[in-house]
Structure 1
Amino acid sequence: MVSWEKVCSPKEEGGLGIKDSQSWNIAAIGKLVWWIYYSPNRLWVKWVNQIYLKGADWQEYQPSGNMSWGWKSICRVKDRLASGYQNGQWLIDNKGYTMCSGYELVRHSFQSVQWHQYVWNGWCLPRHQFIGWLIAREDLQLKVKLFALGIAAHEDCLLCGSAPETHVHLFQECTYGRRVFSEIGKMCSLSVPTSNHLHWAGNGHGSQLKKGILLCIVMATYYHIWMQRNKARVEGCILRPELISNQIRREVKAGLQHVFYQR
């Protein structure tokens, strides 16, 4: 499983680019904090000054215990955004406070990742992209993880049974996975490496069209290896690699036709 904080981080940081509703709500309330600083002529701000602030310094102000829940929430947001202010000036954006800049301050940040440009390339099918995202994050529920949790009886690979089922093994070292990539290489008349498939597909192949097609093929291959792993777990059988390569060819062809039709 992927934590909600990681899911709500930008794609450049390994997330899905979904807005964190709680942080976005804080950023929206931050607009009211900004109005109290810089919009004294607003009717609502005049009312706040008359009822609550009564001439007090807004930056140092703290509400008393008998005040309304809504006003206390605004004051809590003011404290949450305090690091973005200095002498009433918003430090993050010279133009002043915006919800986007407030959101960037309160959300949880992660280190940038290099693989996002390959996973979210705009050519692949969404289901391939999602599984590729989990693979790049190494967050699939593989046997090593399940065995450590006491769920699985063993940690051996379900496709070859020769080593513990990790992300590196399943998509780079497993004999079944290598046979699938070998069939893909024959289909493309290319020598496919045994590791770093996404980096290989996204670099050094000339035109953007060829890179896009190769990324589609690699992502589809990842997806189908994962599906065969699940098929082995549920049904106890898997398809031959040459049949998988035919499925990949059909799916990539249909996906690219859809992309070109939309353009």
Structure 2
Amino acid sequence: MKTKFAAGFQNGRWRLDDKGYSISRGYEWSRNRGPICLWHKTVWSAWAIPKQSVVAWLCMHKALNVRAKLKRIGYTDDDGCVLCGNDAETHDHLFFSCEYSNKVLAATERWANCKILRINPIHGRVPGTQLQELYHGLLICSCYYMIWMQRNKCRMELHIKRPELIAKEIFASVNMRLKDKARILSIENDS
């Protein structure tokens, strides 16, 4: 351990850190932590819808039971995407490159009149006010949730809704949440 720390602290600073010596920085350096994740604030916002937050969180950790994962553990023989049928159903495919999901995102953008980042959107930041960032985060969590629910419904019932209808549901759920929270805040402010 002593040699590891000696190798890590060179020229009066920790490697990958321009600050001087401290026990806490040495401990952080030894844990080899990556960059700090900022999307947790979006997912677990007080304004977020809890069930949508759970699905978004599982998606970000690639912990949903997508068909590629189910095939890998021997639960199923087919790993094809149930929404588009074009590729293996992985997290990256289902939420970022699936034809159906991209249509849902495009329709949601039209309904919400804003741009949703396509490449792992929860890791990107949308420039704007705090309210715009909040709205974007709610839209993303709702998109993940609705796409996942539609995937499950399609898998169980062999029925798929048009992407425009899913987008309308996303838009409605986000706006309903914003109205509820705004009403609660106004009641709290009045009292």
TM range (shorter): 0.7 to 0.9
Q: Quick check: 1:238 aligned with 2:165? A: no
Q: Quick check: 1:196 aligned with 2:116? A: no
Q: Quick check: 1:214 aligned with 2:136? A: yes
Give the deviation of 1:214 after TM superposition.
Answer: 1.4
CA distance in 1 between partners of 2:126 and 2:172 (Å): 24
What are the ranges of 5 or more consecutive residues in structure 1 without an aligned counterpart? 1-90, 93-109
- Aligned pairs, number: 156
CA distance in 1 between partners of 2:172 and 2:109 (Å): 16
CA distance in 2 between partners of 1:238 and 1:126 (Å): 25
Tell me if structure 2 keeps the 8 A contact 1:159–1:176. Answer: yes
CA distance in 2 between partners of 1:203 and 1:114 (Å): 13
Q: Name whichever of 244-253 and 169-178 sits farther off.
A: 244-253
Q: Secondary structure, in 3 states, of the residue corresponding to 1:245?
A: helix
2:65 corresponds, among 115, 125, 141, to 141
Match runs of 1:1-263 below 5 Å: 112-200=36-124, 202-204=125-127, 206-263=128-185
CA distance in 2 between partners of 1:213 and 1:194 (Å): 16
Deviations along 1:193-229, one digit per CA (max 9) or x if unpaired, are 32122234x431x211111111111110110000010
Q: 1:40 maps to what in 2?
A: none
Larger Rg: 1
Tell me if structure 1 keeps the 8 A contact 2:116–2:140. Answer: no
With over 3 angstroms needed to count, the CA separation of the structure-2 counterparts of 1:239 and 1:220, relative to structure 1, is same
Higher relative contact order (CA 8 A, sep 6+): 2
CA distance in 2 between partners of 1:221 and 1:187 (Å): 12
1:261 corresponds to which letter in structure 2?
R
Tell me if structure 2 keeps the 8 A contact 1:118–1:199. Answer: no
Tell me if structure 2 keeps the 8 A contact 1:159–1:229. Answer: yes
Q: Secondary structure, in 3 states, of the residue corresponding to 2:55?
A: helix
What are the ranges of 5 or more consecutive residues in structure 2 without an aligned counterpart? 1-22, 25-32, 186-191
TM-score, normalised by the number of residues in structure 1: 0.55
Q: Secondary structure, in 3 states, of the residue corresponding to 1:154?
A: coil
Tell me if structure 2 keeps the 8 A contact 1:123–1:213. Answer: no
2:171 corresponds to which letter in structure 1?
R
